[in-house]
Amino acid sequence: MDVVGILTAWLVATICFLIISRLPIGVEIDSLGKAILSAAVFGVLNVILGGFLRAIFIPFNWMTQDFFQPIIHLIILTVVFGLAAKLVEGFRLRHKIWSALLGALSLTIVNSILLKILPI
């Protein structure tokens, strides 16, 4: 992925975080600056930690013929979302794990919608 692609993904993730913070799911982000930082931290954690966790689950996915892959992916995103909230001051999860789960699910949905709408 080139620099423009990374910056575009970061911008889309920032917009997603701002949208998610307006939904009644318990995700709170104080400002635009915190949304930008949250998107960056989430992206880095998703690449590093998410990639590591996905690698751990490869044998399980292989044994179950990828049947549980969407569930495992959502669990990994929930962990990454919760960890990002712990690391960024001004990014809070009101209902702890439930807000992280709903936030990860919402992030996936909103991100997919924005990427379909935007001419990227």
Question: Residue 18: which domain range?
Answer: 3-117
Determine the straight-line distance between the first and last CA of the chain, rounded to whole angstroms: 13
Give the count of domains, the chain: 1
Q: What is the tens place of the pLDDT at every residue in 68-111?
A: 889 999 999 999 999 999 999 999 999 999 999 999 999 999 99
Query: Rounded to two decimals, what is the model's pTM?
Result: 0.91
Count CB-CB contacts under 10 A for residue 71.
Answer: 9
Q: What is the tens place of the pLDDT at every residue in 18-52?
A: 999 999 999 999 999 999 999 999 999 999 999 89
DSSP, residue by residue, 32-86: HHHHHHHHHHHHHHIIIIIHHHHHHTHHHHHHTTTTTHHHHHHHHHHHHHHHHHH
